[in-house]
Structure 1
Amino acid sequence: MEARVGSKGLRLMSLLGRDQQSLIKSRADVRTIGDEEKPSYPAMLAASGLCTLIALAPLPFASMDMRIIAVWVLLLSGVLLLTVPQEIGSRDLAFLCGFAAISLSWVFVVSEQLSETSLLSRRLAAPIWGQTSAVLGEQLSGSISVALNQPFFSAGSQIACLLSMLCGYLVGRNRHTARLLLVSFLGSTLAYAIYGLIAHSFWPDYLLWHRKYNYLGSLTATFINPNVAACYFGAATIGWVLVFAAMGGDRPSEPPLPWREWVRSRLHTFSPLRTLGLLACFAMLSTTMLTGSRAGSVLALLCLAGALGTYFRRGLQKRGLLWIFPIAAMLLIVGVISILAPMVNRRFGVQGFFDSGRWQAYASTMEIIRDFPWLGSGLGTFRWVFPEYRSGDIASYGVWDQAHNSTLEAAAEMGIPFALFLGIGWLVSLVVLVRGMLGRNRDAILPTAAFWIGLLAILHSQVDFPLQVPGFALAICPILGMGMAQSFSSRANALTHPFNRS
């Protein structure tokens, strides 16, 4: 068993760890790296459970069914229990305190929305309950939520997302399991991309075994909406390209080679593994473009350019090309969209950058926030509240069951204070990832991939709703948690066991 674990660790190191000084060449190095030991069996079991979630969450129609979400919550609960006996450091405690603060604020808001007896629920009860009581001539005990008990039925996906990020952090503190999480994400996305390309070519009218009636010309793989699929495959493209770049074995501390020798070295060092990596990058990029999502495609390419610029920043700076890179990146983005994304080009020509009614929908959502500023209208109630506020400038066709802006929808359903608190949490997470991306030498690819994947998800959620789809969020949030854990060197973090009696 130990030999198998060791060989797996060596394969992961050779795939992801050639940048800087992270290539481990002996079994002794696999056992102990600095002060970090090989993962224990409970830790590997927890990592296996989290890898299962990352790989399978997008499969059953993006895990939109409540029963599937319940299964993921149970799985994550088991993963969390397996990580409890592990060592806890000072940085871990700081992260856990921040996570607990956000979790407790979420519990407070949802409990108040469900309550019918608390002081806040009586003062901030939705007006619909008073209006209904007047019509029926009978006093009803209302709640803050406009739909009674709806926050209870909508809480599962958010609980799962919170648990998945926490488990990603706790499991990803070990560099071996952190790489295993990233490999699981990249491997599963490649499998979904291959399926999506085949299904788009031969069964374009079907989503898995169900017939599609919308988005017939778009590649969606196992997702219902092509915009979410574009963000998912765009995130995977970032990860695959970074892994392919790490296969080159560049050392930033070494002086840059002349261009002729650099190209010659690349041609001579090209191996079957790098060929497969290049094909995987092309497959992921093509899948992203074939979704037909304008925002998803453009933002994915911008974040991909940012990831490459960050990874190669030292080499570009030594060659004096750092200021030229943004210009070249923009030209390449235009070229990729022109060649690989004809549907995106056509949508830009017909509809511009935004769908008709998008700005009016945002303005209508702001009206909801104005009427429910403190605790919102209730988690999961947007689809019932929006018709009352729907602007007359929005076309009469179509159903707006999402605000197409996760920040505005969170403020409308949960209130402005919680939305601000949640935004601060996301900002702190990105700051931590930036610190790891720019400050780490060993394993820098892990926080780099996590930062640009997280930035893509957050930016796209300002014009759409990928983070509100469990199949996407449950695959991405563990990567973000792992990236935050790997933003700090394990050697510098003094570990203390919570159950150590000595």
Structure 2
Amino acid sequence: MGLLDRDQRSSIKNRADVPTIGKEKKPSYTAMLATSGLCILVALAPLPFASMDMRIVAVWVLLLSAVLLLTVPQAISSRDLAFLYGFAAISLSWAFVVSEQLDHTSPLSQRLMAPIWEQTSAVLGEQLNGSISVALNQPFFSAGSQIACLLSMLCGYLVGRDRRAARLLLMSFLGSTLAYASYGLIAHIFWPDYLLWHRKYNYLASVTATFINPNVAASYFGAATIGWVLVFSSMSSDRFSGPPLSWREVIRFRLHTFSPLRTFCLLACFAMLSTTMLTGSRAGSVLSLLCLAGAVGAYFRRGLKKRRLLWVFPIAAMLLIVGAISILAPLVNQRFGVQGFFDSGRWQAYVSTIGMIRDFPWLGSGLGTYRWVFPEYRSGDIPSYGVWEQAHNSTLEAAAEMGIPFALLLGIGWLASLVVLFRGMLGRNRDAILPTAAFWIGLLVILHSQVDFPLQVPGFALAICPILGMGMAQSFSSRAKVLTCPSNKS
């Protein structure tokens, strides 16, 4: 948190909202407990093998429920209500679809029952109680991780309304990612065939840290790279005011004002970028660099505009991206040379998944049933080796498992979140780093989820979703009119 406070003291001296800083109330004990609980979740969710075990997910659901209860007594503004209405719409729609997939007796479930139940009944010679889900009760066992993700984003928003809690949440994320990156690099050097204390047999040439799949690790460390670079950039003291300095004066000023704290942040940026490149993920590495360039350009857009370099920056950024891929990502270069940017198997998997959506358009085949249904639709053009447990496209997989209407509603929700973060990034001056980091991290995650499955890994989603919720809360001024204030005396 001190990394951001130093920037705030130097960059908002002449701003009209300076007098409000000293009037900020000390947070209540319940608010501090809620913030601490959410920071623990963000820091520890990736640790136990990316929280893939359902028992670990259950622990996180309990923790998030406690955090949510602690935030209930806090004040609610009109903007908070708008967010809560949208969140409730998606949550209730999700609950309706899952309940119908589990039900055996409702008219809708009887009408949309999966054909496999009638076929099985005919083979066995007895009538089975079928359901919309092709695998009995599978939506119940797969619901935990999605409940945790919904709760984590909601808690991130409610906790992140306080600017000090929001900064602490971001720094908890960045500090934990640096620890995981350090472990990943050390383990890659000394124990490349081990994932924590378990032996691994795949991705031996890739840095995965505590994640099983390098694509998820690339998106995680890429998001952290964006955050660390923005923190380092926020230490610039001439971002808002004053005429542009000459390049010689800028370099001299940077050399004379370099401190141990800035050196540490610079090393952290290099470590996170190196870890991202060493995962060997093509899409993860390229998208991380593109979003990183966008974050830097958006943060320094005023200075670039003053120097008339706003249109030159994209060209320079593309050259730097190509250079970073060439120097820091040998495995990515190798995969580009052998497989190109995109392997054909995924395109065929998308076509096969669209076939699933065509047969289960309304309520899907059942949450968590993709791995059971896909073999029937698997194209013969897909190589015979490998097991497809995910569609490598979260949107298509959501439509296949939950139906087209819910997938459209979910897509609208993600688009609305990006719009809010984008407006906050361009509209906020004080604490602008918070919505800026959240927007580009969210954009990276959503884009990567169209060619892979990072959001379907609980350890990744539970670390990222609170940051997105916090960013939406910090996309607006803290002076919003309070509608309800149940307890302001604590």
Q: Tell me, in whole angstroms, the C-alpha distance in 2 between the residues paired with 1:175 and 1:14.
A: 11
Q: Are 1:205 and 2:193 matched, yes or no?
A: yes
- The aligned counterpart of 1:138 is 126
Q: Tell me, in whole angstroms, the C-alpha distance in 2 between the residues paired with 1:16 and 1:378.
A: 49
- 1:88-110 deviation line (CA, Å, top 9, x unaligned): 11100111111000000000000
The CA deviation at 1:41 is 1.1
- The aligned counterpart of 1:486 is 474
- The aligned counterpart of 2:257 is 269
Q: Tell me, in whole angstroms, the C-alpha distance in 2 between the residues paired with 1:73 and 1:232.
A: 21
- 1:271-296 deviation line (CA, Å, top 9, x unaligned): 00000000000000000000000000
Segment of structure 1 superposing worse, 320-329 or 488-497: 488-497
Give the counterpart of 1:323 among 300, 311, 317: 311
The CA deviation at 1:250 is 2.3
The CA deviation at 1:23 is 11
- The aligned counterpart of 1:63 is 51
Give the counterpart of 1:254 among 228, 237, 242: 242
Say if 1:461 and 1:22 are closer, same or farther in 2 by CA, change over 3 A: farther
Gaps of 5+ in 2: none
The CA deviation at 1:260 is 1.0
Q: Give SS of 2:344's match.
A: coil
The CA deviation at 1:33 is 2.7
Q: Are 1:118 and 2:106 matched, yes or no?
A: yes
* Alignment-mate amino acid for residue 320 of structure 2: L
Give the count of matched residue pairs: 488
- 1:153-182 deviation line (CA, Å, top 9, x unaligned): 000000000000000000000000000000
* Alignment-mate amino acid for residue 85 of structure 1: P
Q: Give me the CA root mean square deviation.
A: 1.8
Q: Tell me, in whole angstroms, the C-alpha distance in 1 between the residues paired with 2:143 and 2:75.
A: 30
Q: Tell me, in whole angstroms, the C-alpha distance in 1 between the residues paired with 2:330 and 2:463.
A: 28
Q: Tell me, in whole angstroms, the C-alpha distance in 1 between the residues paired with 2:75 and 2:445.
A: 31
Conserved 8 A contact 1:168-1:482? yes
Conserved 8 A contact 1:151-1:379? yes
Q: Tell me, in whole angstroms, the C-alpha distance in 2 between the residues paired with 1:63 and 1:140.
A: 35
Say if 1:263 and 1:207 are closer, same or farther in 2 by CA, change over 3 A: same
- The aligned counterpart of 1:6 is none
Say if 1:430 and 1:34 are closer, same or farther in 2 by CA, change over 3 A: farther
- The aligned counterpart of 2:161 is 173
Give the counterpart of 2:86 among 91, 94, 98: 98
- The aligned counterpart of 1:366 is 354
Say if 1:471 and 1:18 are closer, same or farther in 2 by CA, change over 3 A: farther
Q: Are 1:278 and 2:275 matched, yes or no?
A: no
Q: Tell me, in whole angstroms, the C-alpha distance in 1 between the residues paired with 2:486 and 2:418.
A: 28
* Alignment-mate amino acid for residue 331 of structure 2: M
Conserved 8 A contact 1:372-1:412? yes
The CA deviation at 1:253 is 2.9
Instruction: Tell me the TM-score normalised to structure 2 length.
Output: 0.97
- The aligned counterpart of 2:12 is 21
Q: Tell me, in whole angstroms, the C-alpha distance in 1 between the residues paired with 2:78 and 2:13.
A: 25
- The aligned counterpart of 1:349 is 337
- 1:44-99 deviation line (CA, Å, top 9, x unaligned): 11000000000000000000000000000000000000000011111001111110
Conserved 8 A contact 1:36-1:491? no
Say if 1:341 and 1:446 are closer, same or farther in 2 by CA, change over 3 A: same
The CA deviation at 1:113 is 0.1
Q: Tell me, in whole angstroms, the C-alpha distance in 2 between the residues paired with 1:450 and 1:344.
A: 26
Q: Tell me, in whole angstroms, the C-alpha distance in 2 between the residues paired with 1:80 and 1:210.
A: 34
Give the counterpart of 1:386 among 357, 360, 374: 374
The CA deviation at 1:16 is 5.5
Conserved 8 A contact 2:364-2:399? yes
The CA deviation at 1:11 is 2.5
Say if 1:18 and 1:219 are closer, same or farther in 2 by CA, change over 3 A: farther
Q: Tell me, in whole angstroms, the C-alpha distance in 2 between the residues paired with 1:277 and 1:58.
A: 22
Conserved 8 A contact 1:179-1:446? yes
Q: Identity over aligned residues, as a percent?
A: 84
Give the counterpart of 2:438 among 439, 442, 450: 450
Gaps of 5+ in 1: 1-9
- The aligned counterpart of 1:155 is 143
Q: Give SS of 1:17's match.
A: helix
The residue correspondences of 1:40-79 to structure 2 (distance < 5 A) are: 40-79=28-67
Q: Tell me, in whole angstroms, the C-alpha distance in 2 between the residues paired with 1:381 and 1:419.
A: 16
- The aligned counterpart of 1:432 is 420
The CA deviation at 1:442 is 0.2
